[in-house]
Amino acid sequence: MTSGRAPVRVVVVGSGIAGLTVALHAADAGCRVTLATKDVLEHANTRYAQGGIAGVMFPDDRADAHLQDTLIAGAGLGDPAAVRVLVEEGPARIRELIALGVAFDRAADGTLVKGLEAAHSYPRILHAGGDATGTAIERALVAALRTAEIRILEHAFLVDLIRDGDRVVGVDLLIGETDDAEGHRLRLDADAVVLATGGAGELYAHSTNPDVATADGIAAALRVGAAVADLEFVQFHPTTIAVGTPFLVSEAVRGEGAILIDDDGRRFVFDAHPDGELAPRDVVARAIARRMEEQGGRPVLLDVSPLHPCDASARASYLARRFPTIDAAVRERGLDWSREPIPVTPAAHYLMGGVVTDLHGRTSVPGLYAVGETARTGVHGANRLASNSLLEGAVFGARAGDVIAGDADEDAWTGPGIAPAPAASDSAASDPSSSPFPDPVPAFSRPLLQRAMWDGAGLVRDDGGLAHTAALIAAWRAQPRTPRREKEYEDENLLLVAAHLVAAARARTLSVGAHYRRDTAPTPRSPAPNLVVEGSS
């Protein structure tokens, strides 16, 4: 910062790995930081991440191999420059987490334990607490935040961004709402606002996300005209427990040797991909959905017996030690996965698209940054590689936090090179006249929206289903509503982002990655040689 000037005022909205990392780095750079989060600090998607964090932390691994795996998983649509930043700066960010107290699992000799997950060519996944990696990272970052000179606002919901001319200059928050009482509004002026509000899992009837994932940041960015892209790329995790509330069963379980079988006991995923259970997530999820349809909607089964094929007692002990969180969730549902396969089904998991940023989190609107799942950095392409999400939050969160102070001294905004859209940007698909809904429209409810998105814009899509869903969303958006409570604002955000997601899915007529159109032939995955990027680390 320029000598003698007041500290740059930064508001970070969201408290997952990306938001917490931005806040800590910006504070270290001398900014005056306020972090606002809609629940308590610890209630973020990061806390629920089981699988781990990917990084080139071993001497026999290479950044180019991690880059290659990421680009292949992204079906050739990832940005090689962004991916190189991710894989080359990732190890430093992981070491930073270790310095903050994240106790990644180690072998008896003190070396980090390697984990393998789908579509990785090397076992480069680090875990903490077996399957509690996200919880360990969240706790360490929150502890660091509480000791830093950072103002913390919990139970602070982002109603909207405040824009002055072409620049974002603050946030409008709803503070302290409870079930029994309305909250109060608070305006915070800022030189920079960072959106780190996570994704949009609440758009779907089946989701691995916590209920705070209501697309608030993406919706707010749309309303101020920020460029948004790739919303059609929604990753559906292949394996959530199909009993009780959806609960994710980490990719790491299959990485350790668990298999997927159908009603006949057959390993069916090899019909779709030579890597079987360790194929990219979109392939495995669709293979499960297809087999479920063929067997009358019944879930497929996850069989962990190969982990200890001859001894159920040893298997039970291993599962409780290696996957304690999942083991507890399985047993809470009355299942004993050490003795019999458990039913699993896909669920919405991660949004690859979002607010378009450059390699430092800058959006197309001056003063506005986006990081984590809210952002579309380009690293994931059409399908995220397993365990790259925590890494992306750490890497690009740090990058954004490191440049905010300097950006405030610059006369020109160097964003992603995309002109901002007009404020309150919207798509033609959200206009009821563009696709009139032919039937009587039921009154809006969130469960109806979630079911419509699951059926019409879910794991497998076609133009008829998308058109029907677009018309229904448009009709709901035309129904008069005046939000006053947090849930009502969330509903408006979900409807806005749903309209844009469906419009993007209709516009992309060919299947690629996580966007699968049954009415068009899939685009073949680009072979690895075409994805090699010059340079090495």
Summarised one tens digit per residue, pLDDT across range 363-407 is 999 999 999 999 999 999 999 998 999 999 999 999 999 999 999
- Within this chain, do residues 174 and 296 fall inside the same structural domain, yes or no? no
Mean pLDDT of the 53-74 span: 97
Confidence check: pLDDT of 460 > 70: yes
CB 19 within 8 A of CB 35: yes
What pLDDT is stored for residue 454 in this prediction?
Answer: 94
Residue 299 has pLDDT above 50, yes or no: yes
Chosen domain end from 347, 368, 396: 347
The reply to whether 535 falls in a domain is: no
For residues 316 and 362, membership in a common domain is answered with no
Q: What confidence score (pLDDT) does residue 46 get?
A: 86
Q: What is the CATH number of the domain that holds 128?
A: 3.50.50.60
How far is the C-alpha of 76 from the C-alpha of 535, rounded, in Å?
18
Q: Say what percent of the chain tops pLDDT 90.
A: 79
Of residues 450 and 293, the one with the higher pLDDT is 450
Q: Which pTM does this prediction carry?
A: 0.91
Whether 16 and 56 map to the same domain: the answer is yes
Same domain, 387 and 259: no
When divided into structural domains, the chain yields a total of: 3
For residue 513, being part of any structural domain is answered with no
Quick one: pLDDT at residue 525?
A: 43
- Are residues 341 and 312 in contact, defined by beta-carbon separation less than 8 angstroms? no
Residue 259 sits in the same domain as residue 330? yes
Phi, psi dihedral angles at 350 (to 5 degrees): -150, 140
- For residue 532, pLDDT beyond 70: no
pLDDT for 255 equals 87
- Spatial neighbors of 333 by CB under 8 A, at least 6 apart, are 241, 243, 244, 247
- Statement to judge: residues 491 and 469 lie in one domain: yes
- The residue-averaged pLDDT of 436-454 equals 88
Measure the CA–CA gap between 270 and 94, rounded to whole angstroms.
34
Q: What pLDDT is attached to residue 391?
A: 98
Eight-state DSSP code of residue 349: E
Mapped to the 3 state alphabet, what secondary structure does 208-230 carry?
CCCCCCCCHHHHHHHHCCCCEEC
Burial profile 237-272: b = 16 or more Cβ within 10 angstroms, e = fewer: bbbbbbbeebbbbbbbbbbbebbbbbeeeeebbeeb
Of 110-124, 378-392, 469-483, 508-522, minimum mean pLDDT range = 508-522
What pLDDT, on a 0 to 100 scale, did the predictor assign at position 531?
A: 31
Calculate what percentage of the chain has a pLDDT beyond 70. Answer: 92
Mean pLDDT of the chain: 91
State the pLDDT at residue 426.
62
Residue 514 has pLDDT above 90, yes or no: yes
* Cβ atoms 507, 501 nearer than 8 A: no
22 within domain boundaries: yes
Task: Kindly state the average pLDDT of the residues 31-42.
Answer: 95
Q: At residue 524, does pLDDT exceed 50?
A: no
Residues 243 and 196 placed together within one structural domain of the fold? no
Q: Please name the amino acid found at residue 200.
A: A
Q: State pLDDT tens for residues 492-501.
A: 999 999 999 9
- Residue 225, Ramachandran bin (φ over 0: left; ψ between -120 and 50: alpha; else beta): left
Domain end call among 332, 347, 362: 347
- Residue 412: predicted pLDDT: 84
CA distance to 127, 233, 254, 338, 398, per residue, from 250 (Å) = 11, 20, 8, 16, 26
The pLDDT score that the predictor gives to residue 527 is 35
Lowest mean pLDDT among 132-141, 272-281, 356-365, 525-534: 525-534
Mean pLDDT is lowest, of 185-189, 263-267, 404-408, 529-533, for 529-533
Query: What pLDDT, on the 0 to 100 scale, is given for residue 387?
Result: 93
Q: Are residues 432 and 284 in the same domain?
A: no
Residue 145 within any structural domain of the chain = yes
Q: Do 68 and 182 fall within a single domain?
A: yes
Give the mean pLDDT of 445-464. Answer: 96
Q: At what angle do helices 486-507 and 463-478 cross, to 10 degrees?
A: 150
Distance CA 325, CA 15 (A): 22
For 367, what's the count of Cα atoms within 13 Å in the CB-facing half-sphere? 21
List residues with catalytic annotation: 281
pLDDT reading at 424 higher than 60: no
200 closest CA partner among 378, 44, 350, 73: 350
Flag whether 381 is in a domain: yes
Helices in 295-388 by DSSP H: which ranges?
Answer: 312-322, 324-332
Q: Residue 529: pLDDT band by 50, 70, 90 thresholds?
A: very low
Domain end: 347, 369, 391, which one?
A: 347
Checking if the pLDDT of 272 tops 90, the result is yes
- 382, 328: one domain: no
pLDDT of amino acid 163? 97
Q: Bridge-partner residues for 517, per DSSP?
A: 461
- Report yes or no on 2 lying in a domain: no
pLDDT of 1: 46
Residue 14 sits in the same domain as residue 104: yes
Residue 429's pLDDT band (boundaries 50, 70, 90)?
very low
pLDDT digits (tens, 9 = 90+) for 218-261: 999 999 999 999 999 999 999 999 999 889 998 889 989 999 99
Q: Is residue 27 part of a domain?
A: yes
Other beta carbons less than 10 A from residue 444's beta carbon: 16
Give the CATH number, domain containing residue 274: 3.90.700.10
pLDDT, average across residues 201-205:
96
What average pLDDT does range 204-216 have in this prediction?
94
Residue 179 within any structural domain of the chain: yes
Q: Which domain holds residue 486?
A: 428-507
Same-domain status, 250 and 263: yes
| 331-353 residue pLDDT tens | 999 999 999 999 999 999 999 99
- Give the three-class secondary structure for 181: coil
Q: What is the mean pLDDT of residues 72-101?
A: 97
| pLDDT at res. 415 | 87
**Does residue 317 or residue 525 have the better pLDDT?**
317
Q: What pLDDT score does 522 carry?
A: 55
